Amino acid sequence: MELDELNNEVWVDEEFPEAVLVAGWSVPSADEPKLAGHDRRTVDVELLAPVGVFRLEDAVKLPDREDTLEVVGEPENYSHGPFGWDPGLEVVNLGGVS
Q: How far apart are CA 66 and CA 2, in angstroms?
A: 25
96: CB partners within 8 A, 6+ apart: 44, 67, 69, 70
Give a three-class secondary structure readout of 31-97: CCCCEECCCCEECCEEEEEECCCCCCCCEECCCCCCCCEEECCCCEECCCCCCCCCCCEEEEEEEEC
Confidence of residue 72 (pLDDT cuts 50, 70, 90): very high
Q: What is the mean pLDDT of the chain?
A: 84
Q: Does pLDDT of 58 surpass 90? A: no
Indicate the pTM of the whole model: 0.76
User: Half-sphere exposure (CA, 13 Å, Cβ side) for 90?
Assistant: 18
Q: Does pLDDT of 44 surpass 80? A: yes
Confidence of residue 1 (pLDDT cuts 50, 70, 90): low
Q: Does pLDDT of 27 surpass 70? A: yes
29: CB partners within 8 A, 6+ apart: none
- The pLDDT value recorded for residue 46 is 94
First to last CA, the chain: 16
Average confidence (pLDDT) over 10-29 = 79
